[in-house]
């Protein structure tokens, strides 16, 4: 494998992992009766229609069918991809949920 092929494979792996991160975020939102697009826009107001988020939404399942997505898992995945703004908004939502309990 030459360096160009290796570079392409690394990019493909990263993009695949990024899509998984977005799916985890979207499913977490669904599981907590939150609108993923609304939460995403709070973090990134300049990104109205995120294609990757739209694709992830098509793969989510109703919360009754979904497995649990622990809060710590979501925050860790967001952090791993440098989505600090989105992680901050998620933490704000968690605070609201805890106050409402």
Instruction: Write out the two tokens for 55.
Output: 């694709």
Look at residue 101 and tell me whether its pLDDT is greater than 70. no
Max mean pLDDT range (7-16, 44-53, 57-66, 92-101):
57-66
Residue 91 — very low, low, confident or very high, per pLDDT cuts 50/70/90? very high
pTM: 0.88
The DSSP output letter for 11 is H
Is a pLDDT exceeding 70 seen at residue 73? yes
Q: Under 8 Å CB-to-CB from 33, ≥6 apart: which residues? A: 63
The dihedral built from the CA positions of residue 40, 41, 42 and 45, taken in this order, carries a sign that is: positive
Distance in angstroms (rounded) separating the CA atoms of residues 36 and 60: 11
- Asked whether the predicted pLDDT for residue 79 surpasses 70, the reply is yes
pLDDT, average across residues 72-97: 95
């Amino acid at each position: 494998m030459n360096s160009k092929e290796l570079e392409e494979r690394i990019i493909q792996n990263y993009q695949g992992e990024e899509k998984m991160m977005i799916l985890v975020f979207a499913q977490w939102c669904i599981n907590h009766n939150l609108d993923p697009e609304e939460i995403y826009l709070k973090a990134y107001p300049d990104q109205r229609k995120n294609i990757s988020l739209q694709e992830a939404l098509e793969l989510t399942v109703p919360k009754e069918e979904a497995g649990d997505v622990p809060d710590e898992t979501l925050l860790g995945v967001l952090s791993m991809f440098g989505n600090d703004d989105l992680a901050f908004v998620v933490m704000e939502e968690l605070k609201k949920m805890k106050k409402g309990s």
